[in-house]
Protein backbone atom coordinates (compact mmCIF):
# COMPACT_ATOMS: atom_id res chain seq x y z
CA UNK A 1 0.00 0.00 0.00
CA UNK A 2 2.80 2.37 0.83
CA UNK A 3 4.50 1.49 -2.42
CA UNK A 4 1.30 2.31 -4.26
CA UNK A 5 1.12 5.79 -2.80
CA UNK A 6 4.74 6.42 -3.71
CA UNK A 7 4.12 5.27 -7.25
CA UNK A 8 1.16 7.64 -7.55
CA UNK A 9 3.26 10.60 -6.39
CA UNK A 10 5.97 9.79 -8.89
CA UNK A 11 3.52 10.75 -11.66
CA UNK A 12 3.69 14.39 -10.50
CA UNK A 13 7.42 14.43 -9.62
CA UNK A 14 8.48 16.79 -12.49
CA UNK A 15 6.06 19.45 -11.22
CA UNK A 16 7.17 18.92 -7.65
CA UNK A 17 10.82 19.12 -8.67
CA UNK A 18 10.15 22.35 -10.57
CA UNK A 19 8.36 23.90 -7.58
CA UNK A 20 11.09 22.76 -5.21
CA UNK A 21 13.82 24.27 -7.35
CA UNK A 22 11.76 27.45 -7.57
CA UNK A 23 11.65 27.75 -3.79
CA UNK A 24 15.38 27.04 -3.56
CA UNK A 25 16.18 29.61 -6.28
CA UNK A 26 14.12 32.42 -4.77
CA UNK A 27 15.27 31.50 -1.28
CA UNK A 28 18.87 31.81 -2.43
CA UNK A 29 18.15 35.20 -3.98
CA UNK A 30 16.49 36.35 -0.76
CA UNK A 31 19.44 35.14 1.31
CA UNK A 32 21.93 36.87 -0.99
CA UNK A 33 19.92 40.09 -0.86
CA UNK A 34 19.69 39.99 2.92
CA UNK A 35 23.42 39.32 3.21
CA UNK A 36 24.18 42.22 0.86
CA UNK A 37 21.74 44.55 2.58
CA UNK A 38 23.22 43.86 6.01
CA UNK A 39 26.69 44.79 4.78
CA UNK A 40 25.56 47.82 2.78
CA UNK A 41 23.08 49.20 5.26
CA UNK A 42 25.61 49.13 8.10
CA UNK A 43 23.61 46.82 10.32
CA UNK A 44 22.42 43.30 10.93
CA UNK A 45 18.76 43.81 10.05
CA UNK A 46 17.58 40.64 11.81
CA UNK A 47 19.32 41.46 15.07
CA UNK A 48 18.29 45.10 14.79
CA UNK A 49 14.67 44.13 14.21
CA UNK A 50 14.63 42.20 17.48
CA UNK A 51 16.39 44.73 19.68
CA UNK A 52 15.93 48.19 18.17
CA UNK A 53 12.77 50.16 17.56
CA UNK A 54 12.23 52.35 14.52
CA UNK A 55 10.60 54.87 16.85
CA UNK A 56 13.59 56.91 17.90
CA UNK A 57 13.58 59.38 20.81
CA UNK A 58 13.89 63.10 20.24
CA UNK A 59 17.32 63.27 21.86
CA UNK A 60 20.34 60.97 21.73
CA UNK A 61 20.57 61.04 25.54
CA UNK A 62 17.63 58.62 25.57
CA UNK A 63 19.27 56.02 23.32
CA UNK A 64 23.05 56.32 23.79
CA UNK A 65 23.65 54.59 27.11
CA UNK A 66 26.77 56.59 27.98
CA UNK A 67 25.48 60.01 26.87
CA UNK A 68 25.47 61.40 30.41
CA UNK A 69 29.18 60.61 30.67
CA UNK A 70 29.72 62.40 27.35
CA UNK A 71 28.03 65.48 28.78
CA UNK A 72 30.06 65.34 31.98
CA UNK A 73 33.29 65.04 30.01
CA UNK A 74 32.32 67.84 27.63
CA UNK A 75 31.93 70.26 30.55
CA UNK A 76 35.61 69.71 31.39
CA UNK A 77 36.49 70.51 27.73
CA UNK A 78 38.47 67.30 27.47
CA UNK A 79 39.87 66.72 24.00
CA UNK A 80 39.09 70.20 22.76
CA UNK A 81 41.62 71.49 20.25
CA UNK A 82 40.73 74.99 19.15
CA UNK A 83 41.16 75.72 15.47
CA UNK A 84 42.83 79.02 14.78
CA UNK A 85 40.28 79.67 12.06
CA UNK A 86 36.61 80.66 12.28
CA UNK A 87 33.66 78.26 12.16
CA UNK A 88 33.66 76.20 8.96
CA UNK A 89 30.81 74.48 7.14
CA UNK A 90 29.45 71.24 8.59
CA UNK A 91 30.93 68.48 6.41
CA UNK A 92 30.77 64.73 7.01
CA UNK A 93 33.40 62.01 6.66
CA UNK A 94 31.74 58.74 7.69
CA UNK A 95 28.98 57.02 9.67
CA UNK A 96 29.25 53.88 11.78
CA UNK A 97 26.53 51.64 13.20
CA UNK A 98 27.45 49.94 16.46
CA UNK A 99 25.26 47.52 18.40
CA UNK A 100 23.04 50.16 20.05
CA UNK A 101 24.23 53.56 18.82
CA UNK A 102 25.72 55.30 15.78
CA UNK A 103 28.52 57.80 15.22
CA UNK A 104 28.89 60.35 12.44
CA UNK A 105 32.37 61.83 11.96
CA UNK A 106 33.02 65.32 10.62
CA UNK A 107 36.05 67.40 9.62
CA UNK A 108 34.54 70.77 10.51
CA UNK A 109 36.34 73.35 12.63
CA UNK A 110 34.96 75.05 15.77
CA UNK A 111 31.96 72.70 16.17
CA UNK A 112 32.96 71.24 19.55
CA UNK A 113 29.90 71.22 21.87
CA UNK A 114 27.47 72.60 19.27
CA UNK A 115 23.95 71.19 18.92
CA UNK A 116 23.26 69.18 15.75
CA UNK A 117 20.53 66.86 14.48
CA UNK A 118 21.03 63.29 13.25
CA UNK A 119 19.02 62.35 10.14
CA UNK A 120 18.39 58.81 8.90
CA UNK A 121 17.71 57.61 5.35
CA UNK A 122 16.89 54.23 3.83
CA UNK A 123 18.59 52.69 0.79
CA UNK A 124 16.48 54.90 -1.51
CA UNK A 125 17.51 58.05 0.37
CA UNK A 126 14.02 58.45 1.87
CA UNK A 127 14.17 60.01 5.31
CA UNK A 128 13.16 57.73 8.17
CA UNK A 129 11.19 59.71 10.70
CA UNK A 130 12.12 62.96 12.45
CA UNK A 131 15.77 63.80 13.26
CA UNK A 132 17.34 63.17 16.66
CA UNK A 133 19.07 65.94 18.60
CA UNK A 134 22.68 65.44 19.68
CA UNK A 135 25.91 67.36 20.14
CA UNK A 136 29.39 67.42 18.61
CA UNK A 137 31.50 65.61 21.19
CA UNK A 138 34.20 64.53 21.23
CA UNK A 139 35.79 66.79 18.65
CA UNK A 140 34.87 65.73 15.09
CA UNK A 141 32.28 63.14 16.22
CA UNK A 142 28.53 63.04 16.86
CA UNK A 143 26.91 60.21 18.82
CA UNK A 144 23.43 59.39 17.55
CA UNK A 145 20.73 56.76 18.01
CA UNK A 146 20.90 53.77 15.73
CA UNK A 147 18.02 53.24 13.31
CA UNK A 148 17.57 49.58 12.29
CA UNK A 149 16.71 50.41 8.65
CA UNK A 150 19.05 53.32 8.02
CA UNK A 151 21.48 53.02 5.13
CA UNK A 152 22.69 56.63 5.17
CA UNK A 153 23.00 59.42 7.71
CA UNK A 154 23.22 63.18 7.59
CA UNK A 155 23.61 66.08 10.01
CA UNK A 156 22.06 69.53 10.23
CA UNK A 157 22.44 72.44 12.62
CA UNK A 158 18.69 73.01 13.00
CA UNK A 159 15.83 70.53 13.24
CA UNK A 160 13.96 71.61 10.10
CA UNK A 161 17.01 72.28 7.94
CA UNK A 162 17.28 70.35 4.68
CA UNK A 163 20.01 67.70 4.53
CA UNK A 164 22.33 68.43 1.61
CA UNK A 165 24.85 65.62 2.10
CA UNK A 166 24.69 62.05 3.40
CA UNK A 167 27.25 59.32 4.03
CA UNK A 168 26.72 55.54 3.91
CA UNK A 169 26.65 53.70 7.21
CA UNK A 170 29.42 51.16 7.75
CA UNK A 171 28.64 48.04 9.76
CA UNK A 172 30.39 47.87 13.12
CA UNK A 173 27.59 46.09 14.97
CA UNK A 174 29.40 42.82 15.63
CA UNK A 175 32.75 42.46 17.36
CA UNK A 176 34.35 40.19 14.76
CA UNK A 177 37.31 42.22 13.46
CA UNK A 178 38.41 41.63 9.90
CA UNK A 179 41.98 42.55 10.83
CA UNK A 180 44.13 41.88 13.88
CA UNK A 181 46.47 44.89 13.56
CA UNK A 182 46.01 47.98 11.40
CA UNK A 183 47.62 51.39 11.00
CA UNK A 184 45.72 54.64 11.49
CA UNK A 185 47.97 57.00 9.55
CA UNK A 186 47.75 60.68 10.43
CA UNK A 187 46.38 62.88 7.61
CA UNK A 188 48.91 63.81 4.95
CA UNK A 189 48.98 67.53 4.23
CA UNK A 190 51.25 70.13 2.63
CA UNK A 191 53.10 70.31 -0.67
CA UNK A 192 55.95 67.88 0.04
CA UNK A 193 56.18 64.79 -2.17
CA UNK A 194 54.89 61.80 -0.20
CA UNK A 195 55.28 58.72 -2.41
CA UNK A 196 58.66 57.49 -1.09
CA UNK A 197 57.91 57.92 2.62
CA UNK A 198 54.49 56.33 2.11
CA UNK A 199 55.75 53.29 0.19
CA UNK A 200 58.43 52.67 2.81
CA UNK A 201 55.92 53.03 5.65
CA UNK A 202 53.40 50.59 4.19
CA UNK A 203 56.01 47.99 3.26
CA UNK A 204 57.68 48.34 6.67
CA UNK A 205 54.44 47.67 8.53
CA UNK A 206 53.57 44.75 6.28
CA UNK A 207 56.83 43.14 7.40
CA UNK A 208 55.73 43.82 10.98
CA UNK A 209 52.50 41.85 10.51
CA UNK A 210 50.14 44.76 9.88
CA UNK A 211 47.20 43.70 7.71
CA UNK A 212 45.52 46.99 6.83
CA UNK A 213 46.18 50.75 6.62
CA UNK A 214 43.59 53.49 7.11
CA UNK A 215 45.02 56.30 5.00
CA UNK A 216 43.86 59.90 5.47
CA UNK A 217 44.59 62.42 2.73
CA UNK A 218 44.27 66.18 3.03
CA UNK A 219 46.77 67.30 0.37
CA UNK A 220 48.44 65.03 -2.18
CA UNK A 221 50.46 65.61 -5.33
CA UNK A 222 49.43 63.83 -8.53
CA UNK A 223 52.58 61.70 -8.59
CA UNK A 224 52.01 60.34 -5.08
CA UNK A 225 48.33 59.81 -5.88
CA UNK A 226 49.35 57.14 -8.41
CA UNK A 227 50.92 55.12 -5.60
CA UNK A 228 47.92 55.56 -3.32
CA UNK A 229 45.57 54.40 -6.07
CA UNK A 230 47.69 51.28 -6.60
CA UNK A 231 47.63 50.35 -2.92
CA UNK A 232 43.90 50.99 -2.81
CA UNK A 233 43.25 48.75 -5.83
CA UNK A 234 45.22 45.94 -4.18
CA UNK A 235 43.04 46.23 -1.06
CA UNK A 236 45.97 46.95 1.26
CA UNK A 237 44.82 50.44 2.19
CA UNK A 238 41.51 52.18 2.81
CA UNK A 239 41.66 55.82 1.69
CA UNK A 240 39.70 58.67 3.26
CA UNK A 241 39.90 62.01 1.45
CA UNK A 242 39.29 65.08 3.58
CA UNK A 243 37.92 68.39 2.32
CA UNK A 244 40.15 70.28 -0.13
CA UNK A 245 39.54 73.74 1.32
CA UNK A 246 42.59 75.27 2.98
CA UNK A 247 40.54 76.58 5.89
CA UNK A 248 43.05 75.92 8.70
CA UNK A 249 46.71 75.17 9.31
CA UNK A 250 47.86 71.80 8.05
CA UNK A 251 48.77 70.38 11.45
CA UNK A 252 45.23 71.06 12.68
CA UNK A 253 44.01 68.21 10.46
CA UNK A 254 45.92 65.73 12.60
CA UNK A 255 43.19 65.30 15.21
CA UNK A 256 40.53 64.92 12.50
CA UNK A 257 42.20 61.73 11.34
CA UNK A 258 42.89 60.48 14.87
CA UNK A 259 39.28 60.78 16.02
CA UNK A 260 37.83 59.49 12.74
CA UNK A 261 40.08 56.43 12.63
CA UNK A 262 39.18 55.51 16.19
CA UNK A 263 35.57 54.97 15.08
CA UNK A 264 36.46 53.47 11.69
CA UNK A 265 38.73 50.85 13.24
CA UNK A 266 36.40 49.88 16.13
CA UNK A 267 35.23 46.26 15.61
CA UNK A 268 37.00 46.34 12.21
CA UNK A 269 40.53 45.93 13.61
CA UNK A 270 41.34 44.29 16.92
CA UNK A 271 44.23 46.70 17.49
CA UNK A 272 45.10 50.02 15.83
CA UNK A 273 48.45 51.82 15.55
CA UNK A 274 48.27 55.61 15.63
CA UNK A 275 51.33 56.93 13.85
CA UNK A 276 52.78 59.45 11.37
CA UNK A 277 54.23 58.97 7.90
CA UNK A 278 57.83 59.39 9.12
CA UNK A 279 57.61 56.93 12.04
CA UNK A 280 58.55 53.25 11.92
CA UNK A 281 57.41 51.34 15.01
CA UNK A 282 59.06 47.94 15.21
CA UNK A 283 59.50 44.97 17.49
CA UNK A 284 63.09 43.92 18.10
CA UNK A 285 64.43 40.40 18.06
CA UNK A 286 62.73 37.49 16.35
CA UNK A 287 59.14 38.65 16.50
CA UNK A 288 56.89 40.97 14.54
CA UNK A 289 55.08 43.96 15.95
CA UNK A 290 51.81 42.08 15.48
CA UNK A 291 53.09 39.15 17.55
CA UNK A 292 54.43 41.43 20.25
CA UNK A 293 51.17 43.40 20.39
CA UNK A 294 48.93 40.35 20.64
CA UNK A 295 50.97 39.04 23.55
CA UNK A 296 51.40 42.36 25.39
CA UNK A 297 47.76 43.44 25.06
CA UNK A 298 46.42 40.16 26.47
CA UNK A 299 48.71 39.75 29.48
CA UNK A 300 46.00 41.46 31.55
CA UNK A 301 42.29 41.81 30.85
CA UNK A 302 42.20 45.58 31.32
CA UNK A 303 45.04 46.72 29.05
CA UNK A 304 43.78 49.42 26.71
CA UNK A 305 46.94 51.09 25.43
CA UNK A 306 50.46 49.96 24.51
CA UNK A 307 52.98 52.83 24.33
CA UNK A 308 56.26 52.97 22.42
CA UNK A 309 59.17 55.27 23.14
CA UNK A 310 60.89 57.33 20.48
CA UNK A 311 64.29 57.53 18.91
CA UNK A 312 64.79 60.32 16.37
CA UNK A 313 66.79 59.55 13.23
CA UNK A 314 67.84 62.82 11.61
CA UNK A 315 66.62 63.30 8.04
CA UNK A 316 68.51 66.37 6.74
CA UNK A 317 67.05 66.51 3.24
CA UNK A 318 63.67 66.36 1.55
CA UNK A 319 62.43 63.29 -0.37
CA UNK A 320 62.76 63.24 -4.18
CA UNK A 321 59.96 64.26 -6.52
CA UNK A 322 60.32 61.38 -9.01
CA UNK A 323 61.30 57.72 -8.96
CA UNK A 324 64.25 56.96 -11.22
CA UNK A 325 64.80 53.34 -10.28
CA UNK A 326 67.40 51.94 -7.88
CA UNK A 327 69.51 55.06 -8.04
CA UNK A 328 66.69 56.90 -6.27
CA UNK A 329 66.43 54.32 -3.50
CA UNK A 330 70.18 54.19 -2.90
CA UNK A 331 70.27 57.97 -2.51
CA UNK A 332 66.99 58.65 -0.73
CA UNK A 333 65.36 55.62 0.99
CA UNK A 334 65.25 56.81 4.63
CA UNK A 335 65.76 53.46 6.36
CA UNK A 336 68.77 52.78 4.13
CA UNK A 337 70.67 56.07 4.21
CA UNK A 338 69.84 57.86 7.49
CA UNK A 339 71.58 56.63 10.66
CA UNK A 340 72.26 59.56 13.03
CA UNK A 341 70.04 58.51 15.94
CA UNK A 342 69.15 60.08 19.26
CA UNK A 343 69.06 58.33 22.60
CA UNK A 344 65.72 56.81 23.58
CA UNK A 345 63.23 59.40 24.75
CA UNK A 346 61.90 59.15 28.32
CA UNK A 347 58.64 57.39 29.11
CA UNK A 348 55.66 59.50 28.09
CA UNK A 349 57.63 61.89 25.87
CA UNK A 350 55.90 62.07 22.45
CA UNK A 351 55.17 58.35 22.62
CA UNK A 352 52.95 56.66 20.07
CA UNK A 353 50.39 54.00 20.82
CA UNK A 354 48.64 50.85 19.82
CA UNK A 355 45.14 50.67 21.29
CA UNK A 356 42.11 48.44 21.50
CA UNK A 357 39.48 50.66 19.78
CA UNK A 358 36.61 48.89 21.59
CA UNK A 359 37.72 50.41 24.86
CA UNK A 360 38.65 53.96 23.84
CA UNK A 361 36.15 56.81 23.70
CA UNK A 362 38.53 59.70 22.94
CA UNK A 363 42.00 59.35 21.45
CA UNK A 364 44.77 61.95 21.41
CA UNK A 365 47.85 62.01 19.21
CA UNK A 366 50.11 60.44 21.84
CA UNK A 367 47.78 58.65 24.26
CA UNK A 368 44.21 57.76 25.21
CA UNK A 369 42.28 60.69 26.66
CA UNK A 370 39.16 58.86 27.81
CA UNK A 371 37.99 55.26 28.02
CA UNK A 372 34.40 54.09 27.78
CA UNK A 373 32.45 54.36 31.06
CA UNK A 374 33.09 51.50 33.44
CA UNK A 375 36.43 50.60 31.91
CA UNK A 376 39.62 51.49 33.77
CA UNK A 377 42.25 51.06 31.12
CA UNK A 378 45.81 50.13 32.00
CA UNK A 379 48.74 51.51 29.98
CA UNK A 380 51.70 49.28 29.18
CA UNK A 381 54.98 50.85 28.09
CA UNK A 382 57.01 48.67 25.74
CA UNK A 383 60.62 48.30 26.98
CA UNK A 384 62.92 49.90 24.37
CA UNK A 385 64.88 46.66 24.04
CA UNK A 386 61.66 44.92 22.97
CA UNK A 387 60.06 47.52 20.68
CA UNK A 388 60.93 51.05 19.60
CA UNK A 389 60.07 53.87 17.20
CA UNK A 390 62.56 54.99 14.57
CA UNK A 391 61.30 58.49 13.80
CA UNK A 392 62.91 59.77 10.58
CA UNK A 393 62.59 63.42 11.51
CA UNK A 394 62.79 66.21 8.96
CA UNK A 395 65.10 68.89 10.38
CA UNK A 396 63.44 71.73 8.45
CA UNK A 397 59.76 71.09 9.12
CA UNK A 398 58.46 73.14 12.08
CA UNK A 399 62.04 74.38 12.59
CA UNK A 400 62.70 71.08 14.33
CA UNK A 401 66.43 71.23 13.63
CA UNK A 402 66.81 74.57 15.42
CA UNK A 403 64.35 74.18 18.29
CA UNK A 404 63.19 70.70 19.32
CA UNK A 405 66.50 69.02 18.60
CA UNK A 406 68.03 70.73 21.64
CA UNK A 407 65.47 69.06 23.89
CA UNK A 408 66.23 65.70 22.31
CA UNK A 409 69.97 66.21 22.84
CA UNK A 410 69.35 66.26 26.59
CA UNK A 411 68.24 62.62 26.45
CA UNK A 412 71.79 61.49 25.63
CA UNK A 413 74.31 61.32 22.83
CA UNK A 414 73.43 60.68 19.21
CA UNK A 415 74.87 57.48 17.73
CA UNK A 416 74.94 55.83 14.30
CA UNK A 417 72.35 53.05 14.12
CA UNK A 418 70.84 50.94 11.35
CA UNK A 419 67.42 49.66 10.46
CA UNK A 420 67.56 45.91 11.31
CA UNK A 421 69.71 44.17 8.70
CA UNK A 422 67.48 41.10 8.45
CA UNK A 423 64.57 43.35 7.47
CA UNK A 424 66.43 45.87 5.32
CA UNK A 425 66.92 43.47 2.42
CA UNK A 426 63.23 42.56 2.36
CA UNK A 427 62.09 46.15 2.78
CA UNK A 428 64.33 47.41 -0.03
CA UNK A 429 63.14 44.66 -2.36
CA UNK A 430 59.46 45.24 -1.61
CA UNK A 431 59.65 49.03 -1.96
CA UNK A 432 61.54 48.69 -5.24
CA UNK A 433 59.01 46.18 -6.58
CA UNK A 434 56.06 48.40 -5.72
CA UNK A 435 57.55 51.64 -7.06
CA UNK A 436 58.75 49.97 -10.26
CA UNK A 437 55.27 48.63 -10.87
CA UNK A 438 53.61 52.00 -10.32
CA UNK A 439 56.12 54.27 -12.03
CA UNK A 440 57.59 51.91 -14.63
CA UNK A 441 61.27 52.09 -13.61
CA UNK A 442 63.67 49.31 -12.61
The domain ranges of the chain are 60-171, 179-439
pTM of the predicted structure, to 2 decimals: 0.87
Residue 2 has pLDDT above 60, yes or no: no
At the topology level of CATH, where does 179-439 sit?
Answer: Spore Coat Polysaccharide Biosynthesis Protein SpsA; Chain A (3.90.550)
Q: Report residue 42's pLDDT band, with 50, 70 and 90 as the boundaries.
A: very low
- pLDDT tens digits along 134-153: 999 999 999 999 999 999 99
The values of phi and psi at residue 427, to 5°, are -65, -45
- CATH architecture of the region 60-171: Sandwich (2.60)
Do 179-439 and 60-171 fall under one CATH topology? no
pLDDT for res 400: 86
Mean pLDDT of 311-331: 96
pLDDT over 80 (residue 228): yes
| 9 pLDDT above the threshold of 80 | no
Neighbouring-strand partners of residue 353: 274, 307
Q: pLDDT tens digit string along 269-301?
A: 999 999 999 999 999 999 999 999 999 999 999
Q: What is the pLDDT of residue 374?
A: 86
pLDDT digits (tens, 9 = 90+) for 66-113: 999 999 999 999 988 777 777 889 999 999 999 999 999 999 999 999
Percent pLDDT > 70 in the chain is 88
How much of the chain exceeds pLDDT 90, in percent? 78
Tell whether the model's pLDDT for residue 230 goes beyond 70.
Answer: yes
Q: In this predicted structure, what is the pLDDT of residue 31?
A: 36
Mean pLDDT of 1-5: 35
CA-wise closest residue to 274 among 351, 344, 219? 351
In the chain, the N- to C-terminal Cα span, in Å, equals 82
In 290-421, DSSP assigns E strands to: 303-308, 310-315, 340-341, 352-355, 360-363, 368-371, 378-381, 387-394, 415-416
Per-residue pLDDT at 48 exceeds 60: no
Instruction: Identify the pLDDT of residue 51.
Output: 63
Amino acid sequence: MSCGRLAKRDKFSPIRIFISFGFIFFGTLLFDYNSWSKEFYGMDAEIAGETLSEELPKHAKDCVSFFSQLNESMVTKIGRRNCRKALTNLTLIGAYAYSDYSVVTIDSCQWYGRKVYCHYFDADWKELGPPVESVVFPEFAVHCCRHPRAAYMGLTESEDEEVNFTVPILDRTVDKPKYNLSVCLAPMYGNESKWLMLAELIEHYKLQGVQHVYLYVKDIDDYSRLLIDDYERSGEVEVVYLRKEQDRYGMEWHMVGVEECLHRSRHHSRYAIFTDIDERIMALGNQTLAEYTSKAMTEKTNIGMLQFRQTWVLRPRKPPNKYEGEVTLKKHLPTLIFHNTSAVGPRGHTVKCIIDPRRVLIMWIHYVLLYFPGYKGVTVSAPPDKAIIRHYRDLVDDNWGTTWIHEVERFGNFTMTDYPAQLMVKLYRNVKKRLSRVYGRT
